[in-house]
A = this chain, B = another copy of it.
Amino acid sequence: MINNSGKINFTIDANDKSSLARATHFQTEHGEIKTPIFMPVGTNGVVKTLTPAELKQANSQIILGNTYHLYLRPGMEIIKKAGGLHKFSSWDRPILTDSGGFQVFSLAHLSQITDEEVVFQSHIDGSKHKLSPQKSMEIQNSLGSDIVMAFDECTPYPCDYKKAREAMKRTHHWEKLSKQHFEKMESAYGHNQFLFGIIQGSVYDELRKESAEYLSKLNFDGYAIGGLAVGEPKKRMFEILENVVPLLPESRPHYLMGVGKPEDIVRAIERGIDMFDCVIPTRNARNGLLYTWKGRIKIKQAQYKDDLTAVDPDCTCYTCQNFSRAYLRHLYKKNEITGLRLNTLHNINFFIELTQQARQALLTDKFDEFRNNFYANYPIEDDHWKQNIKKRKQRRKKHLRENETN
């Protein structure tokens, strides 16, 4: 079976009347994707601390895998021998793999970058490797993901206009090559793959517009917006979405990469985004931050030491059905791994429930009510977010150590 992008069978189930929000669905060979959707991140072929069975219980329809990480460890030979990432990791629902671009530019030591390829050194052992549009497609072919991402260059923030433009141009070149190579490849395990393009252009409206228009013509199966949530002001991110999303084909899924906090997800849904991924629920769980419809709880705080209520008494997850804040605090204080699991399970449930409720509201024409309720109860943390650049940098360093990346 030869891959053939641009053939996605995509349906819009509902459009909100007062925003760009929409409910959509499409079918992959490992299952249906119903949007808006939150996709848990499984960098190394595992969503940190969880099992496939738990992800299914949390109604996770799709998880991410990471081309860069999986290429380095365990390597493609083992994954191919196992029959692809689904079989290797025992996850039989859809998988989306990123292209490795983001990691090559943020994690690895770049030694050379040309229009043909990137030469880099592994952040693990310094070994030298090359990544190119063709190579990225081949790795993702071996991984056997249901959704393949085109190879792109993700710019950091801040990034001057000239550099942003160069990176965008190169991204366009690479994405075209990605598509050409993708369409020549035979499916490795007999199931069809979709190919998504990635819009770049940093914070420059003109570049973002150019990128959206150029890539839209290439007829990808879906469109991602990359290079956001990398440090730019939150307000800018939403302005860019407002400018870019209307330029994307309506009949394709819209995916905002690496976003985000609950309030960012709701605001991006309003702006026409269908798909999200982020390490926030998993990483923050391991740091004792638990999400509820009324905001975050820092479980280590003394106020929870004898609080025998659930994190969210209305939540149906295993954690909330069985354990109190006092018990979770005890586990956290004692560095018990079970605590990290229970926290992660709850957060993943919350993020998936959030997007599922948004979808339900859209299907029943109650999205306005949903978002008003959400904003009325959930404290938005933009200011906090902006003030803590230093903390964010420290966290970034920590997550590099932990190998968990968007």
A contact set with B: CB distance below 8 Å: 44-53, 73-74, 77-78, 81-82, 88-90, 305-306, 308, 318, 322-324, 326-327, 329-331, 333-342, 403
Residues in B whose Cβ lies below 8 Å from that of A306: 77-78, 81
Q: How many copies does the complex hold?
A: 2
B337 A337 Cβ-Cβ under 8 A: yes
Of all chain B residues, the one with the shortest Cβ separation from A81 is: B306
Q: Is the CB of A326 within 8 A of B49?
A: no
What chain B residues lie within 8 Å of A45 (beta carbons)? Answer: 327, 330
| A322–B32 CA distance with the chains assembled, in angstroms | 23
Chain B residues closer than 8 Å to A82, beta-carbon distance: 308, 324, 326-327
B327 close to A90 (CB less than 8 A): yes
Complex Cα spacing A50 to B338, Å? 6
Among A73, A308, A326, A337, the one with the most B-chain Cβ atoms within 10 Å of its Cβ is: A337
Taking A78-B306, A90-B323 as contacts, is the C-beta distance between A51 and B338 under 8 angstroms? Answer: yes
Q: Check if A52 sits within 8 Å of B322, measured CB to CB.
A: yes
Q: How far is the CB of A41 from chain B (nearest CB, A)?
A: 13
B74 & A330 in contact (Cβ 8 Å cutoff): yes
- Complex A-B, nearest 8 residue pairs according to Cβ-Cβ distance, in ascending order: A90-B322, A74-B330, A49-B337, A44-B334, A46-B338, A78-B306, A46-B336, A81-B306
Chain B residues within 8 Å of A47, by CB: 338
The distance in angstroms between the C-alpha atoms of A81 and B305, with both chains bound, is 11
A17 shortest CB reach to chain B, Å: 43
Cross-chain contact B51 with A330 (CB below 8 angstroms): no
CA of A280 to CA of B389 in the docked complex: distance in angstroms?
44
Find chain B residues with CB under 8 A from A334 CB: 44, 73, 403
Give, as a whole number of angstroms, the nearest-CB distance from A23 to chain B: 32
18 contacts between A and B (CB under 8 A): A45-B327, A48-B336, A50-B338, A51-B341, A73-B330, A73-B334, A77-B306, A78-B306, A81-B308, A82-B308, A82-B324, A82-B326, A88-B324, A88-B330, A90-B322, A90-B323, A90-B327, A334-B403
Bound-state CA distance A335–B74 (Å) is: 13
**Complex contacts, A308 vs chain B, CB 8 Å:** 81-82
Contact (Cβ within 8 A) A338 B49: yes
Neighbouring B residues of A337 by C-beta, 8 Å: 48-49, 337, 340-341
Between A81, A327, A333, the greatest number of chain B beta carbons within 10 A of the residue's beta carbon is seen for A327
User: With contacts A337-B337, A338-B46 known, is A327 near B88, CB below 8 A?
Assistant: yes
> Cα distance A206–B327 when bound, in Å?
46
- Given A48-B336, A49-B337, 18 more A-B residue pairs with CB atoms under 8 Å apart are A44-B336, A45-B327, A46-B331, A48-B338, A51-B338, A51-B342, A74-B305, A74-B330, A77-B306, A78-B326, A81-B306, A81-B308, A81-B326, A88-B324, A334-B403, A335-B403, A337-B337, A337-B341
Q: Which residues of B contact A44 (CB under 8 A)?
A: 330-331, 334, 336
